[in-house]
Amino acid sequence: MNAMTTIRTVIGLMSGTSMDGIDVALIRTDGEAVQEFGPSASYPFTDADRETLRAALGEARALDDRAARPGVLGTAEELVTGRHAEAVTRFLAERGIAREDVALVGFHGQTVFHDPARKLTVQIGDGEALAQSLQLPVAWDFRADDVAAGGQGAPLVPIFHRALMATAGLTAPAVFVNIGGVSNVTFIGRDDALLAFDTGPGNALMDDWTRERTGRAFDADGELAASGTVETERLARLLSHDFFDVTPPKSLDRDAFSSAALAGLSDADGATTLLHFTARSIARAAEHFPEAAGDWVVCGGGRHNRELMRVLGGLVAQAGGRLRSAEDVGLDGDATEAQAFAYLAARTADGKPISFPGTTGAPVPLTGGRISRPSAQR
Ligand SMILES: Nc1ncnc2c1ncn2[C@@H]1O[C@H](COP(=O)(O)OP(=O)(O)OP(=O)(O)O)[C@@H](O)[C@H]1O
Ligand SMILES: CC(=O)N[C@H]1[C@@H]2OC[C@@H](O2)[C@@H](O)[C@@H]1O[C@H](C)C(=O)O
């Protein structure tokens, strides 16, 4: 078997903690480098889908068995699987890609609960059913083995960030920042060593505030936040959370932080304070880095938030770094995570590790994920 050098065409699928929709991306990879970046697309959830997913998050808080699907979780899982099948089908049709040309699909699913201290991480979405529906092999359930071995189960994208260093023409030490629902960073050292962890809130906390106060799904370009004033005392209270002093590895559930401390503030002042909280907690990641990094490359939806990028840019500059958007270094910051799950799927297919002591705190480099094949291919 010559699996180590197999270059596959792989589709990656990500529906992140922002619950905005499904990102789809195609790459050609041998699970080491990316030989080719193909097309990518996003398929938004409907408002009704998001309601169901939010209900699933609530229901999942009571889970102590990752396989159980009580209440709305069963419906939500079918929804997630079905929407992913639709997304791939549309993607293939719209991009003129033949299904036969795709070797593998990497399917993250929707995280509804994450508490590694209890060895519990729950992603809904049925990879078996997706493999049947698409008639393609599907790699999925990427976080379970890591958490079972005592790892954080997240973040998993860091090994892909390292593979992007060459593509992006970056010099170590450098940092990738993902601003999704939750924010996470990957520090890549001169020796190629990885140090990665969740930093705190990303878009989810700001999105929830904006939705509750204005009915809009998110604060476009950070305009609401740009019009308010930071409440410094409440900001200090938010930043005094123990999580920030914890030595990595560390990871977060979507709803680990709350905006309760902002009760009584105006829509704008609350939005501003949350935005500064988000930026400050990302910049504080530098406290854990072994040395100062030059380039900080931002991926994820949060880089579209102009005010957030302005504030974070200032903080990174104070730390001696330079904030850059993924596009500034030739990457597609909306597709990074979907591409990563294609890359991780290829590694799973080849039996290569996907989590590491420096990324999830895994005791040793660990493989993860499992592969379901359509019955016709068995
Ligand atoms: N123009 C914009 N202005 C402000 N925020 C934006 C803009 N466009 C996108 N966003 C934010 O990006 C979010 C989506 O980000 P992304 O797709 O990276 O999340 P995700 O896939 O859920 O991430 P993760 O898996 O890392 O949690 C939206 O919910 C919104 O908050
Ligand atoms: C448990 C879980 O789904 N965590 C997500 C979440 O969203 C961002 C951050 O928190 C990151 O740790 C992770 O996702 C990315 C894709 C990762 O594993 O790298």
Taking the centre of ligand 1 as the mean of its atom positions, its distance from the CA of residue 24, in whole angstroms, is 15
Residue ranges of the chain whose pLDDT lies below 70:
1-4, 376-378
pLDDT at 281: 98
Is-contact 181 198, C-beta < 8 A? Answer: no
Q: At what angle do helices 336-349 and 158-167 cross, to 10 degrees?
A: 110
- Say how many Å lie between the CA of residue 152 and the centre of ligand 2: 10
Nearest to 130 by CA among 90, 91, 92, 77: 77
CA of 2 to the centre of ligand 1 (A): 39
Query: How many angstroms separate the alpha carbon of residue 45 from the centre of ligand 1?
Result: 13
- pLDDT of amino acid 5: 78
Contact in structure between 90 and 79 (CB atoms under 8 Å) = no
In short, whether 337's Cβ falls inside 6 Å of ligand 2 is: yes
Query: How do residues 179-214 score in pLDDT, each as one tens digit?
Result: 999 999 999 999 999 999 999 999 999 999 999 999
Q: Rounded distance, CA 254 to CA 225, Å?
A: 21
pLDDT of residue 51: 97
Q: Whose structure tokens read 């992006």? A: 168
Binding-site residue numbers for ATP are 16-23
**Widest CA span in the chain:** 64
| Per-residue confidence (pLDDT) for residue 2, from 0 to 100 | 46
Cβ of residue 18 lying under 6 Å from some atom of ligand 1: yes
58-116 pLDDT, tens digit per residue, is: 999 999 999 999 999 999 999 999 999 999 999 999 999 999 999 999 999 999 999 99
Here the tokens at position 19 are 């619950």
Q: What residue ranges define each of the domains in the chain, with the CATH number in brackets?
A: 3-152+335-377 (3.30.420.40), 169-329 (3.30.420.40)
Contact 315, 1 (CB under 8 A): no
Tell me which amino acid residue 222 is.
Answer: G
Q: How far apart are CA 89 and CA 14, in angstroms?
A: 15
Nearest ligand 1 atom to the CA of 220 is: 3
Q: Does ligand 2 lie within 6 Å of residue 301's CB atom?
A: no
**Contact of 24 with 13, CB cutoff 8 Å:** yes
CB 218 less than 6 A from any atom of ligand 1: yes
CB of 305 sitting under 6 A from ligand 2: no
